[in-house]
Structure 1
Amino acid sequence: MSIEKVRTYLKQFNADNRIIEFATSSATVELAAQAAGCEPARIAKTLSFKLHDDSVILIVTAGDAKVDNAKYKHFFCCKAKMLTADEVEPDIGHAIGGVCPFGINDGVKVYLDVSLKRFVTFFPACGSHNSAIELTPDELEQYSANCQGWVDLCKGWQE
């Protein structure tokens, strides 16, 4: 189960005991915000994309942000192409609703969007449709597997 994979992964940071398992689904930004008792913007959503060389990446962004196609194309030199529902679990290592930057498949690069830096803490998923962990921006950067650093790839959150 993906949450166990995440729990094992987060042990190296002594953060495995900080995983929150909700009684209800947290598979969407809105559901996660209700479960965590916070505003939707503070949900760190993890989006999966395929690059022109068929490698896969994750972008972790604030719940109220949307990937800006122009920024994405400028940064990655290709159009934004999200993974299909059938590709997510085999390519990333977590199913839709639990995708996160922890305990992912080898070779998946993780990018953190600056839209998250406006919060003291936020809630990314932990591998299942009803889990999360409350992290600071520094903790997210430290705990994210194969983290490539902070990027500015989104729009809509500054308005």
Structure 2
Amino acid sequence: MSLPSVRAFFAEHAPDCEIIECDASTATVAEAAAAHGVAPAQIAKTLAFHTPKGMVLVVACGDARMDNRKFKAVFGGKVRMVDRAEVEAATGHPVGGVCPFGLAESLPVYCDLSLRAFAEVLPAAGSVNSAVRIAPERLAALTHALWVDVTQDPVPDDGLNHGSAPT
């Protein structure tokens, strides 16, 4: 699985998409952003969760934080992250290279609305040093993803200290 299964996926479904392999690790959002010269938000992280309806993959901006209240509303109850071994078994990809392409098992994929802030995002491509540049809408179309809003709203960067206790 992993990189070869992602290559096969793109060869069949999107032969124009090129997988980018880096010499250095891109396993974390920070490493991937540095390697590709983009903001961390433009890295599309893929996370696996257990929901009342089964395991799902959620793709969101690299700097987005999940919102438990929104998750419960979308998935109908409590969710929890999938452990490392189960993620690798279900996706066929190592942690740090998990993506919604070329999966070992058919899993529902959800794309968070945070991705729509960019014309192009960079999800991993099945290994800890690979990625693909792709439009969020195309990522969703290729993976048959549903769009959801499950991340915290960004904090405005207006110089004010939002949410802090008054002094």
Q: What is the TM-score of this pair, normalised by structure 1?
A: 0.91
Residues 1-159 of structure 1 mapped to structure 2, 5 A cutoff? 1-15=1-15, 18-53=18-53, 55-144=54-143, 147-157=144-154, 159=156
Q: Could you tell me how far apart the structure 1 residues matched to 2:108 and 2:80 are?
A: 15
Q: Could you tell me how far apart the structure 2 residues matched to 1:48 and 1:39 are?
A: 23
Q: Could you tell me how far apart the structure 2 residues matched to 1:2 and 1:16 are?
A: 19
Q: CA deviation at 1:62?
A: 0.3
Any unmatched runs of 5+ in structure 2? 157-167
Aligned residues: percent identity?
Answer: 42
SS in 1 for 2:52: coil
Q: Is the 8 A contact 1:115 1:157 kept in 2?
A: no
Q: Is the 8 A contact 1:112 1:141 kept in 2?
A: yes
Of stretches 103-112 and 35-44 in structure 1, the one that deviates more from structure 2 is: 103-112
* Per-residue CA distance 1:93-137 (angstroms, 9 max, x = gap): 211011000011333100000000010111000000000000012
Q: Which amino acid aligns with 1:153?
A: V
Q: Could you tell me how far apart the structure 2 residues matched to 1:51 and 1:11 are?
A: 31
Q: Which has the larger radius of gyration?
A: 2
Any unmatched runs of 5+ in structure 1? none
Aligned CA RMSD, in angstroms, stands at 1.5
Q: Could you tell me how far apart the structure 1 residues matched to 2:145 and 2:13 are?
A: 18
Q: Could you tell me how far apart the structure 2 residues matched to 1:67 and 1:109 are?
A: 18
Q: Is the 8 A contact 2:71 2:79 kept in 1?
A: yes
Of stretches 149-158 and 11-20 in structure 1, the one that deviates more from structure 2 is: 11-20
Q: What is the TM-score of this pair, normalised by structure 2?
A: 0.87
Q: Which runs of 4+ in 1 moved over 4 A?
A: none
Matched length: 156
Q: Which amino acid aligns with 1:39?
A: A
Q: Could you tell me how far apart the structure 1 residues matched to 2:17 and 2:114 are?
A: 27
SS in 2 for 1:106: coil
